[in-house]
Amino acid sequence: DQQVKQNSPSLSVQEGRISILNCDYTNSMFDYFLWYKKYPAEGPTFLISISSIKDKNEDGRFTVFLNKSAKHLSLHIVPSQPGDSAVYFCAASLYNTDKLIFGTGTRLQVFP
Amino acid sequence: DVKVTQSSRYLVKRTGEKVFLECVQDMDHENMFWYRQDPGLGLRLIYFSYDVKMKEKGDIPEGYSVSREKKERFSLILESASTNQTSMYLCASTGGTGQTQYFGPGTRLLVL
């Protein structure tokens, strides 16, 4: 039972354009959401997070939006750069736990 | 600077062998985690530990065990390796609830 889903396994975007990566979840008790980025042969690195009390969090070119009623979050990258090409995982956690539930990942390719 | 290291980047073992994967963090973190990453399945939690000598099962503990004798070191053990344990294994640590998980570079294990 996949509690965190990333329905698009891959996404291809032109450099300079917006990349939108989507993530859906089923457990309404999740209260903290994160995005990780992973390059080949490296471990995932933390990108950005959002608490369930917010609906938007921004950090430079990266913005995460949370729609609790739809149980949906998205990561926007503007403008996209070739160095953003990686696999992106969304993850969720329950209140007061360290355990993360990861999605299946979306491979983003940014082409010139 | 945060650092999580894993003993091997690549490992080839035979079916039935006992396999040890080691993870060391230098951040004095209490919590440590072992995941495996497989295509189309994302990251799945195998075991985690909140303190020395403490361990808890994750979502897919079957066929694995762990050991945490020192705070900085968390070992994953495959008692009798099988081909379906061929995977990328990722270790992570975090300083406490709600904090970011930091990942090691991963160990790609091939079981023949």
pLDDT in tens, B43-79: 999 999 999 989 999 999 999 999 999 999 999 999 9
- Is the CB of B42 less than 8 angstroms away from the CB of A89? yes
- Residue among B93, B100, B102, B109 with most chain A CBs within 10 A, to mutate: B100
Using a CB–CB cutoff of 8 Å, tell me whether B88 touches chain A: no
> Is there a contact between A33 and A90 (Cβ–Cβ < 8 Å)?
yes
At residue A71, what are phi and psi to the nearest 5 degrees? 55, 55
The predicted-structure confidence for A24-82, as pLDDT tens digits, reads as follows 999 999 999 999 999 988 899 999 999 999 999 999 999 999 999 999 999 999 999 99
Q: Nearest Cβ partner of A102 from B43, B94, B98?
A: B43
pLDDT greater than 70 at residue B97: no
CA distance A34 to A103: 10
Q: 3-class SS at B83?
A: helix
Q: Which of residues 35-54 of A touch B (CB under 8 A)?
A: 36, 41-46, 49
Among the partner-chain residues A41, A98, A103, the one whose CB lies closest to the CB of B42 is: A103
Q: pLDDT-based confidence at A99, cuts 50/70/90?
A: confident
- Find all residues with CB under 8 Å of A105, minimum gap 6, and list them: A6, A9, A38, A87, A88, A89, B42
Whether A9 contacts chain B with CB within 8 A: yes
B94 touches chain A (CB under 8 A): yes
